[in-house]
Structure 1
């Protein structure tokens, strides 16, 4: 898919999304959430790095970036972190269930 000519369709570029794994600094830059806050959210289980090796740079995939953006949106609207996390996890389960049904 040529995402350069149609940047709005980048979310449909499955090959890109499958290999999209970026460091915590890039996630902070992309989402506007500080690295410190991202580390805190990781400690609280909101997000999980794809490679959890001791001392390794934290790297996050597409789904984690999506969670960061959704949680940030809810926190900005006044939700507490735990409530935002619960709501996002519920959304992700609902989406996963819906797409699982479609895949059958």
Structure 2
């Protein structure tokens, strides 16, 4: 059932413009640019250097930060919590991968 909801191939190719991210998340482009300037999120730019596009991981990070902000956390605290969650997930998946290889 989960396989029907999650397509790894789509996720790996998903790049969304800043305008689309702003529309879907409800976070203004100006705020997304600020977060990018602060190093909280990262975009990949087109060759012309003008179009920002965000991948799945950064969109997920934006949504998680927004949830924490909506719950009353500060931006700094939200970013710290999200980065800790991402690190914990990466560590867990690394351990699982090591077990499968052994």
**TM-score, normalisation: structure 2:** 0.86
Secondary structure of 1:103's counterpart equals helix
Stretches of structure 2 that go unaligned for 5 or more consecutive residues are: none
- Equivalent residues, number: 96
Matched, 1:66 2:35: no
Residues 4-43 of structure 1 deviation map (CA, whole Å, 9 limit, x = unaligned): xx6xx1xx20011000011100111111111011011111
The residue number in structure 1 matching 2:29 is 35
Q: Which runs of 4+ in 1 moved over 6 A?
A: none
The residue number in structure 1 matching 2:76 is 82
Secondary structure of 1:22's counterpart equals strand
The residue number in structure 2 matching 1:94 is 88
The residue number in structure 2 matching 1:16 is 10
**TM-score, normalisation: structure 1:** 0.84
Distance 1:35 1:97 in 2: 32
Distance 1:92 1:51 in 2: 23
CA radius of gyration, larger in? 2
Provide the alpha-carbon RMSD of the alignment.
1.8
